């Protein structure tokens, strides 16, 4: 079996699950997909640490292809729009490639810095790109995005902002929390793979 197969399968499963779970609400500000999508950064970072940035980029491309197929299927079924599909694919691809690059720049620092800081940078870019392209008012609204520009209190308690801004802040908060939590499986998995058996 090719050494990238487990990472490609894990990325494909994460992207597929996230594309399905994004259809189901989790409270007012999130979808269930917000809990699965950040694991894409963990998969990319483990691949980068174990097999290098070139292998990590190949895993990202595999995830991107799966994401495009999911988006096309969802659009054909009327579950999403081209605008949201473009936002999703663009955000995934550019954020994951940024993650790979930042990780590579930091790979010789303390073990936790590369995975955490690269996931942090990728998550910021992913959130900004997705929510801006998918929902911001400077692009024409449609039936699937028009609701997102309603002015509400930010996260229900802050200053007035478009609803999509609250969704973005909540989503990024989950990504940040999961980037911190992902340090545990990152450390355990990388040690198991890289340390020779006793």
Q: What is the pLDDT of residue 142?
A: 65
- Unique residue bearing structure tokens 């609400």: 25
Q: What is the pLDDT of residue 151?
A: 78
CATH of domain 5-194: 1.10.1760
99 pLDDT band, cuts 50/70/90, is very high
Q: What is the pLDDT of residues 147-156, one digit of tens each?
A: 777 778 777 8
Go through 138-158 and write b for each residue having 16 or more CB atoms within 10 A of its CB, e for each that does not.
Answer: eeeeeebbeebeeeeeeeeee
Q: What is the pLDDT of residues 48-96, one digit of tens each?
A: 999 999 999 999 999 999 999 988 888 888 878 888 889 999 999 999 9
Token couple for 55: 């292998």
Q: What is the pLDDT of residues 25-54, one digit of tens each?
A: 898 889 999 999 999 999 999 999 999 999
pLDDT value at 196 more than 80: no
Determine if the pTM surpasses 0.75.
Answer: yes
Neighbours of 171 (CB within 10 A): 22
CA distances from 197 to 1, 153, 191, 194 (A): 20, 55, 11, 9
Q: What is the pLDDT of residue 141?
A: 65
Q: What is the pLDDT of residues 110-156, one digit of tens each?
A: 999 999 999 999 999 999 999 999 888 777 766 666 677 777 877 78
Contacts of 71 (CB under 8 A, 6+ apart): 19, 80, 84, 85, 88, 89
CA dist 139 and 72 (Å) reads 20
Token couple for 73: 């299927």
């Amino acid at each position: 079996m090719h050494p990238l197969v487990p990472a490609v399968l894990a990325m494909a499963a994460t992207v597929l699950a996230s594309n399905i779970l994004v259809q189901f609400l989790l409270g007012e500000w999130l979808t269930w997909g917000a809990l699965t999508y950040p694991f894409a950064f963990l998969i990319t970072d483990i691949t980068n640490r174990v097999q290098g940035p070139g292998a990590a980029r190949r895993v990202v491309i595999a995830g991107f292809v799966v994401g495009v197929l999911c988006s096309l299927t969802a659009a054909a079924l009327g579950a999403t729009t081209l605008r949201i599909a473009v936002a999703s694919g663009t955000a995934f691809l550019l954020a994951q490639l940024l993650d790979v690059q930042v990780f590579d720049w930091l790979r010789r620092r303390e073990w936790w810095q590369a995975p955490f800081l690269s996931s942090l940078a990728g998550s910021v870019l992913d959130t900004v790109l997705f929510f801006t392209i998918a929902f911001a008012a400077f692009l024409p609204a449609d039936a699937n995005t028009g609701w997102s520009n309603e002015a509400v209190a930010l996260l229900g308690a802050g200053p007035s902002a478009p609803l999509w801004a609250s969704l973005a802040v909540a989503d990024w908060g989950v990504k940040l929390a999961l980037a911190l939590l992902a340090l545990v499986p990152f450390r355990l998995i990388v040690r198991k793979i890289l340390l020779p058996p006793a």
